[in-house]
Amino acid sequence: MEISQTLQTLDELLHRCKLAEAEQFLRDAVAQAQASGDTDTEKTLRNEQMGFYRDCGRFPEMLETAACARALFENASETETIPYATTLLNCANAYRAAGQYDAAFSAYDTVQHLYEKLLPPDDDRVAGFWNNLALLYQETEQWNESCRCLETALTLVRSKPNNEVRVAISSTNLAVSLLQLFQTERALELLREADRILAGCAPSDFHYSATLAGFGDAYWQKKEYQRAADSYEQALSEIELHMGQNNFYEIVLDKLRRTYAAMGTSRPKLSGLELCRRYYLAFGAPMLEREFPELLPKLAIGLAGEGSECLGYDDANSRDHDFGAGFCIWVPDDIPAESVQKLRNAYATLPRSYYGVTRQETPEADGRVGVCRIRAFFQRLLGTDGVPETESQWLSIPDGMLAAACSGAIFRDDAGTFTAYRRRLALGYPEEVRLRLLAQAAGRMAQCGQYNYSRMRSRGDLATAQLYLAEFCRNAMLAWHLLRRKYAPYEKWLLRSTAELEGGAWLAEEIRQLLLPSAETSGSAHITAICSRMGKEIAAMTSKKPSEYLGDMARELAAEAQALETHRATVERLARLEFETFDTVQNIGGRAACQDDWETFSIMRRIMRRSQYLPWPEELLEEWLAAFETAKASGRNLIMEKYARMMEHTDPEKYAAFADQLPPLTPEFVQLREAIIAIQIPWMEEFAAKYPYLTKQARTIHTAEDSKAQTSYETYLRGELSVYPFDILYGYGRWVVSLHQAGENLACLTMAETVREYGYDSLESAEQAYRKSSQLFS
């Protein structure tokens, strides 16, 4: 038998906390060694077996194994050897654990004699002896003797390099004895040293549970009961992971109960999200900070996706599947697969229970916690790589999956990539999609509740009537979520979610009255009330006259959705046309990289261009698109002309060399252009005064601030307006004047569209976010 391979396999099983498999593996290995007469291997395995049973609190098997181990040496008269001394030390530890203190003291005396005779005084095994003898003194409450032994052990292990784990073990043991002598501060100092060495290791060292329990005892003495309870909770998770619920587990659990009693409470039953947050802070954060410091700034950590706990709706009945401590690590696509696998391996070594809750793993829950790519997370839930881009994509995704993608909480996301995706999703459907879905819901309410329900009842087909009634109620709740710009969760929580929405309590109660067995015979009054209120809500949102029949409202909503779809399509056509024209611009330094990359243009520049055009009225937008297409067909490049016009202020010398090649501008054109600019500049100044942090992300405002490297807003606007045909400029000017007269600010309208593209529901929320980030990095 190859003993090194056997011990490696055993270690792997123990690191994976496969206690039952480890025990059977040891039994089989011992039997194999006996059958082959390999006593040297059996001696080694018996020592391993003895320690295994001791750690698991199985003392009868431990003592039986100790007797077998001693007999292997004593029957062969090998009692004056280092292996026998080491075996006898393990036996002494077994006697101590079983409460056979006299036998333990006798064995320790013999070990000390043999080690003094056979080993150099600074040998690591000597330090181990003093550590173990100290534990016996602890068991017999001889605290000063225990401290003497441990001070000796600590001095020895500190004298050797690369001995950190032994230092942590000795420091923890000494701290435990010092606490019995009420030397609390010295004990905490030693425990913190042990914690710095052991915290966050993946896999964790089973000695770490003693360090955590020591913290609990220290905080108990200081009457910091919450900190004591937190430490005991962590200790219990580590004990169970490595040794099961043994006698040490029961001792710490009793201390935990005593601590909660001192706080006047009992062990809390945490919500799933709070349990997972605490689990991450206790075990996940230290592991990631220790093992993956370079990766951590690129990762997002939290809990999101399917599951009642992610919605905050978990209760006692939710704990029958996929419930327990865990968290997600979302990884960007540029992290190598090897690093992702290392993350997965490290996550797999974390404790499986926390606060007395063991995670219930089910096949349906696969992928809900652990490590996954950001793209894979959204693909699994939405079928897209992130935020849906097209109307067809939005319409193909169930509401519940969108709600799941926005659910839960993010515990850490330094890079902000994952948070940005979720922030954009949380804004809700694009307006044209929302109106389309609301039209569908209103139409189904009319069809099922206002029409077919009563018809089926009049025919005596009560079963079909109930089917229509349920469909009416479901669509009423979906409609209310759409009115409040929220994604509806899956059906299990749809009624509860409706009740929690603004003004939704009345609807939830009406639906309960409709669906509960005690409901009135027909339910028509409730249907009428729901449809009447829904019609008023829809009318208020669309500025249309409410109709008693929701089918009429549905048609109006669909028409409005169609108008928005047409407008967005025009904006997209114009953005695409601008890119195609931009693609042919010849820069002085050659082609820019983005000229060959529509996707990059889409993400960055296209956001700005789309934001500029979305506030425009459709008629003016179509006229400008037609004029742009005509110019392109005639060979003009309006984008090149726009940038050329800007150079009049950014680089006058070069501008003078080609100014005569540009189409001339009439005095009337220039006068109108400057009048428009005179309105728009104060708008931008007003925006800058109100949103200074957002303004830092934008251009400078005035032409006087131009340089060769930077073009101001005023100069850019002047260049843009200079390429409009006169009739387009005139129409644009009339629209700008109408906004001014109505008290609107086009700069704010445009920037509101821009920040929405980045996931902010308002300029105020975007300003607040940029203010925080500015303060963070200042």
Asked if residue 778 has pLDDT above 50, the reply is: no
Helix (H, G, I), strand (E, B) or coil at 413: strand
Output phi, psi for 328, to 5 deg. Answer: -105, 140
One-letter amino acid for residue 183 of the chain: Q
Are 399 and 361 spatial neighbours (Cβ–Cβ below 8 Å)?
A: no
Higher pLDDT, 708 or 562: 562
Are 98 and 62 spatial neighbours (Cβ–Cβ below 8 Å)?
A: yes
- Tell me what the pLDDT averaged over the chain comes to: 90
Residue 683's pLDDT is 97
Residue 33's pLDDT is 87
Helix (H, G, I), strand (E, B) or coil at 696: coil
Residue 677's pLDDT is 96
pLDDT digits (tens, 9 = 90+) for 582-626: 877 655 433 333 334 434 444 456 688 889 999 999 999 999 999
Asked if residue 720 has pLDDT above 80, the reply is: yes
DSSP notation for 343-396: HHHHHHTS-SEETTEE----GGGTTSSEEEEHHHHHHHHHSSSSS--SHHHHHH
The C-alpha atoms of residue 12 and residue 348 are separated, in whole angstroms, by 13
Residue 550 parent element (H or E): helix 550-582
One-letter amino acid for residue 777 of the chain: F
Are 95 and 107 spatial neighbours (Cβ–Cβ below 8 Å)?
A: yes
CB atoms < 10 A from the CB of 107, how many? Answer: 25
pLDDT digits (tens, 9 = 90+) for 452-496: 999 999 999 999 999 999 999 999 999 999 999 999 999 999 999
Are 444 and 471 spatial neighbours (Cβ–Cβ below 8 Å)?
A: yes
pLDDT digits (tens, 9 = 90+) for 195-232: 999 999 999 998 999 999 999 999 999 999 999 999 99
Mean pLDDT of 712-723: 95
Could you give the angle at the alpha carbon of 407 between the alpha carbons of 403 and 411, nearest 5°? Answer: 160
Asked if residue 136 has pLDDT above 60, the reply is: yes
Asked if residue 550 has pLDDT above 80, the reply is: yes
Helix (H, G, I), strand (E, B) or coil at 407: coil
CB atoms < 10 A from the CB of 570, how many? Answer: 18
Asked which of 406-415, 510-519, 563-572, 659-668 is least confident by mean pLDDT, the reply is 510-519
Output phi, psi for 536, to 5 deg. Answer: -65, -40
Are 249 and 265 spatial neighbours (Cβ–Cβ below 8 Å)?
A: no
Residue 521's pLDDT is 55
Residue 737's pLDDT is 97
H helix and E strand count, the chain:
39, 6
Domain boundaries, the chain: 199-268, 272-426, 431-560, 583-777
pLDDT digits (tens, 9 = 90+) for 327-372: 999 999 999 999 999 999 999 999 999 999 988 765 444 568 999 9
How far lies 225's CA from each of 64, 230, 283, 430, 685, in Å? 41, 9, 20, 50, 56
Helix (H, G, I), strand (E, B) or coil at 205: coil
The C-alpha atoms of residue 477 and residue 505 are separated, in whole angstroms, by 11
The C-alpha atoms of residue 495 and residue 501 are separated, in whole angstroms, by 10
One-letter amino acid for residue 254 of the chain: D
Q: What is the CA radius of gyration of the chain?
A: 37
Ranges of beta strands (E only) in 241-356 are: 300-303, 328-331, 353-354
Residue 314's pLDDT is 86
Output phi, psi for 474, to 5 deg. Answer: -60, -45
Asked which of 25-39, 272-286, 288-302, 308-322 is least confident by mean pLDDT, the reply is 308-322
- From the number of C-beta atoms within 10 Å of its C-beta (0-12, 13-18, 19+), residue 264 rates as exposed
Please give the structure tokens belonging to residue 450. 């206002």
Are 485 and 428 spatial neighbours (Cβ–Cβ below 8 Å)?
A: yes
Are 8 and 37 spatial neighbours (Cβ–Cβ below 8 Å)?
A: no
Asked if residue 749 has pLDDT above 90, the reply is: yes
Q: Per-residue confidence at 57, pLDDT binned at 50, 70, 90?
A: confident
Please give the structure tokens belonging to residue 46. 């018996």
Pairing of strands 409-413, 353-354: unpaired
Residue 12's pLDDT is 86
pLDDT digits (tens, 9 = 90+) for 621-649: 999 999 999 999 999 999 999 999 999 89
The total number of residues shown for the chain amounts to: 778
Percent of residues, the chain, with pLDDT higher than 90:
73
Could you tell me which residues are beta bridge partners of residue 493? none
Are 358 and 323 spatial neighbours (Cβ–Cβ below 8 Å)?
A: no
How far lies 259's CA from each of 231, 605, 714, in Å? 11, 59, 67
Are 544 and 538 spatial neighbours (Cβ–Cβ below 8 Å)?
A: yes
DSSP state of 264: T
